[in-house]
Amino acid sequence: MQTQVLIIGGGATGTGLARDLALRGVDCVLVEKQDINAGASGGNHGLLHSGARYIGSDLAAARECREEGERIKRLAPHCVEDTGGLFVAVAGDDEAYIADFAARCEQCGIAVKAVDLKDAREMEPELSRDLIAAYAVPDASVDPFKLSLDNLADAQARGTRVLRNTHITAFEKSGTRIQRVQVQNRRTGAQFSIVAEQIVNATGAWAGHVAAMAGADIRVLCSQGSLIITQNRLSHRVINRLRQASDADILVPAGTVSIFGTTSVRLDDPDTSRPTVAEIDAMLPDGIAMVPKLAETRFIRAYAGVRPLVQSTPTSDDRSVSRGFALIDHTKEGIDNFITITGGKLTTYRLMAEKTANRVCERLGVTAACETRTAPLPATASGKWTEPGLTPRLWFQQKDKSDLLLCECEMVPTSVVNAITANIQAEGGRPSLRELGQRSRVGKGPCQGAFCSLRLTAHLYNEGCLSADQGLEELRDFLNERWRGVHPLLWGQAVAQAELQEALHCGLYGLELVEA
Amino acid sequence: MQTPTDEKHCQLMVIGAGMAGMAATLFAVKQGLQVAQAGLTGEVIYASGVFDLLGVYPPEKRQVREDPWRALAELAQAEPNHPYARLAPQEIAHAMDLLTEYLGEIGLPYTGHPTKNTRLLTSVGTAKPTFRLPISMAAGSEALAQKAPCLLVDLVGLRGFSARQMASTLAHQWPDLRTATVEAPGPVVHGPKYPEHVARTLEVEAERDAFAAAIAPHIADARYVGLPAVLGIYKTPEIVAQLEERLKVRIFEIPTMPPAITGLRLKEAFESHLPTMGVDAYYHYRVLSVHPASSGGFRLEIGKNDTEQVVHADTVVLATGRFLGKGLIPERDGIHEALLDLPVHQPRHRDRWYAGAFLAPEGHAVSRAGLEVDDQFRPVTADGRVVNDRLFAVGSILAHQDWMRTKSGVGIAVASAWKAVQAICAA
């Protein structure tokens, strides 16, 4: 396979870069070892920052967030719920930080407005009665899956080729250039090679590993952040704790649910990331101080993302390492056609892609200017089913009783599942339960996949998408994957749900006895 | 003002209406005890309908066992605290026989190999080891054992049950499987079909002929026909016989995913027959509180939300189940027993409850949490003291067992119930 640019990594940056380059007429291949947004791009709050969170640590990052946040709201409104945000402090929080907050926001051009405490509680009734300060800022909620899927779909429409479940096995160098990249499909085991003029390492927390394979050395710190999803939406707006950025201080609404987090736990290997009981137990008291309802609400799922932090000086506090991004040219290490882009934030993904594309184009001698700065992001079918509440709405409107619901908790009908499988097949993939889960609300309701996994598997066989005993492995993989998110949140009613799931999948079906 | 609640007396109060509660009630009433029983039948409706004794042991080695009795001997040796280790094999066998004989008498006959486990075909294409199964499922195990020419049939609208899935999954070991999809019995209506609805339709005799006629063209040389478990709720043996007669093949049912009717059949059978044997039954009611009386015995308050009935009982059998049955309450700070706050054997901290992988072969530590008991199945404290010599605990609430991984749920429920009732009668 031959191309101008090989992009490694299908997160927000990689998919954003694919679109940016495609718009400039550059031919690209994107390889992703798992699926779109499998890393930090999917494992975050979905918070479109106004920048206010960073006014205490990094004014440049705050300004970048403000500009890029405004741009995404304008160019990709279908990915954004423009909720607005509140920064609130409760009794005991740092008064000096509160006193400086508004002025520092203004310094970065962030529209900030002091809110009367009584009004704040009227705007957000679940806020603590112990509020001592509240400010409104233009934070918003963004769907990172939709964003990446739409970026990728637009790139693909312009000729970009995408290889999922495909990882790099070796870089073959000749002199100062990477001549050929060996890759392997992790599903089929098939191996092949890609010849590219330029190679971009956009693998987030894995950037250090990939760079090392190419013979380059960058130090990427891996900081796990865990988040939990509540069964119901707890606020209209994004709620931030008004204090120096810390753990457990953000609650973001996402459709019918809310997402609370996060943590920062250093990991040696990003592949070992998963939310833990200890993180949840440490996080809850802080959240309860801000939004007391968190003490009694039911949680649906926990997940974790790994932030790639590029280290400049040795440090023990992950939050003091810059959240700004790093664009690393490996020429100094003797590789002329290899670039790493990592770090940064979801909110600034487009800017990261633009800067990277500029560098790549400079090397390729392409003079076309960046279009993502002004061109609206087209909404495509591949991203649309991740929106909570969308499929039930359409299903009710359509009133077709023979369109059976395959996921009853989130009301995902057969027609939607078929549309998604057709999409995956059109992209050259084989639809799996996990991918269906990533592209829709399937498995994200209270049953956590216990029942819908069975209905989906049966349906995929009937549609000819599964054969032989692939269904057993699909079920095992899907249930184990869902479990990662449920496991730290098992107390109360969720334990009974887990027991029912185990009685069914182990007691009756014996899926634990199937050899993996 | 509240209406004055009724007060009654009984010798034995069984709390819980799952398999363990039903078995304890049955055994006690057969022994001539005056029995009252209360509890939600919620959990039973999830039952597969098959009776496991011990199908997998040891679970961490994923060893599926053909001979449950050999597995039991190994278990009793290795795990002296396991409920089975407090029972002789003859006692376990006897308890299981008593239950299945009774079910046969009331129209829900069970069968199986005299001493061995049988393999049951499931809707995901696995073969589950079990000990006793409804006769409506028996032919499936026969067909599976012989890999006989067999037609699997699924129904339009019945989700999560695909004949093609089963046939594809089993194709490498059972090539003579074919599939067909037919309309569910009854008038053709679009939309989802539910096993209970289909089963109620087939209770009507005329519907069975039409259903047989829909299947007939697909049979070809098949000697067996497998259907989802929808063949009636009250007259299953009759429906199976009628379909076999029309189609000239052996018919068998395959359990479906919830909401299934295999558990519903058991629930309906017990609920309609136990009261006729003199059981003072409060199904769909909960026991709200249990207080040991100073004069001995217990005072129990029964109701939905408020107390509607007070029962004084000499003896109490706790068959309240685990988390789904609400016998055990899992809080963030630990697991509590719901009614009497009995001591619960459990992992030290919540982070030890579950393994990292849902399907970890060794299972989850929380599944082995529960009540510790003595040889008569009376709850004991951590230092081995009997909590109350008239209080017994049976079934899945017991500690040191993992019925889901060892495929032993009904066996443990029924055998512990039998042993507790023996102890009550002997006292």
CATH number at residue A185: 3.50.50.60
- Look at A487 and B354 and tell me if their CB atoms are within 8 Å: yes
CB interface of B with A, residues 273-312, below 8 Å: none
Q: Classify B288 as helix, strand or coil.
A: strand
Q: Residues of A with CB below 8 A from B64's CB?
A: 510, 513
Same domain as A285, residue A421? no
Same domain as A237, residue A201? no
For residue B282, what pLDDT is reported?
A: 96
A137 within domain boundaries: yes
Same domain as A154, residue A269? no
A56 within domain boundaries: no
For residue A423, what pLDDT is reported?
A: 84
Q: Classify A479 as helix, strand or coil.
A: helix
Gap between the Cα atoms of A342 and A324, Å rounded: 9
Q: Long-range contacts made by residues A286-290, C-beta under 8 angstroms, separation at least 24?
A: A286/A241, A286/A246, A286/A247, A286/A248, A286/A249, A287/A248, A287/A249, A287/A251, A287/A260, A289/A90, A289/A128, A289/A130, A290/A88, A290/A90, A290/A127, A290/A128, A290/A239, A290/A241, A290/A249, A290/A251
Structure tokens at A248: 């457990």
Query: By percentage, how much of chain B surpasses pLDDT 90?
Result: 93
In this predicted structure, the answer to whether residue A313 has a pLDDT above a threshold of 50 is no
Whether a cis peptide bond, with omega within 30° of 0, leads into B259 is: yes
CB B365 within 8 A of CB B347: yes
- Look at B326 and A496 and tell me if their CB atoms are within 8 Å: yes
Gap between the Cα atoms of A41 and A345, Å rounded: 9
Same domain as A477, residue A355? no
Gap between the Cα atoms of A22 and A86, Å rounded: 38
B257 touches chain A (CB under 8 A): yes
Same domain as A497, residue A481? yes
Same domain as A341, residue A286? no
A88 within domain boundaries: yes
* Domain of A155, in residue numbers: 2-40+145-219+323-364
Same domain as A413, residue A506? yes
* Mean pLDDT score, B202-229: 96
CB interface of B with A, residues 102-121, below 8 Å: none
Neighbour count for residue A98 (Cβ, 10 Å)? 18
ipTM: 0.97
Same domain as A127, residue A178? no
Q: Residues of A with CB below 8 A from B323's CB?
A: 495-496, 498-499
Structural Rg of chain A based on CA atoms: 23
A59-74 b/e (C-beta count within 10 Å ≥ 16 → b): eebbbbbbebbbbbbe
CATH number for A292: 3.30.9.10
pLDDT digits (tens, 9 = 90+) for B390-399: 999 999 999 9
In this predicted structure, the answer to whether residue A442 has a pLDDT above a threshold of 60 is yes
Same domain as A212, residue A132? no
Give CA angle at A216 (A357, A201), nearest 5°. 30
* Mean pLDDT score, A436-442: 85
A213-239 b/e (C-beta count within 10 Å ≥ 16 → b): ebebebebbbbbbbbbbbbebbbebbb
pLDDT digits (tens, 9 = 90+) for B76-119: 999 999 999 999 999 999 999 999 999 999 999 999 999 999 99
For residue B395, what pLDDT is reported?
A: 97
A49 within domain boundaries: no
A334 within domain boundaries: yes
For residue A383, what pLDDT is reported?
A: 66
- Look at A402 and B162 and tell me if their CB atoms are within 8 Å: no
For residue B42, what pLDDT is reported?
A: 63
A374 within domain boundaries: no
Q: Walk me through the domains of chain B, giving residue ranges and CATH numbers.
A: 6-105+264-426 (3.50.50.60), 123-254 (3.40.50.1860)
Cα A301 to the chain's mean position, in Å? 15
For residue B4, what pLDDT is reported?
A: 57
B124 touches chain A (CB under 8 A): yes
In this predicted structure, the answer to whether residue B157 has a pLDDT above a threshold of 90 is yes
Q: Residues of A with CB below 8 A from B162's CB?
A: 457-459, 461-462
Instruction: Point out the residue among A496, A511, A512 whose CB comes nearest to the CB of B323.
Output: A496
A494 within domain boundaries: yes
pLDDT digits (tens, 9 = 90+) for A244-289: 989 999 999 998 889 999 999 999 999 999 999 999 999 999 999 9
Same domain as A412, residue A495? yes
Across the strands, what pairs with B370?
A: B345
Number of domains in chain A: 3
For residue A392, what pLDDT is reported?
A: 80
Cβ-based neighbours of A214, under 8 Å, separated by 6 or more: A171, A173, A178, A199, A201, A330, A335, A338
Same domain as A402, residue A414? yes
Same domain as A486, residue A403? yes
* Mean pLDDT score, A487-506: 94
More confident residue, B10 or A445: B10
Q: Nearest CA to A204 among A267, A115, A143?
A: A267
Instruction: Point out the residue among A451, A461, A502 whose CB comes nearest to the CB of B257.
Output: A451
B323 touches chain A (CB under 8 A): yes
A468 within domain boundaries: yes
For residue A400, what pLDDT is reported?
A: 84
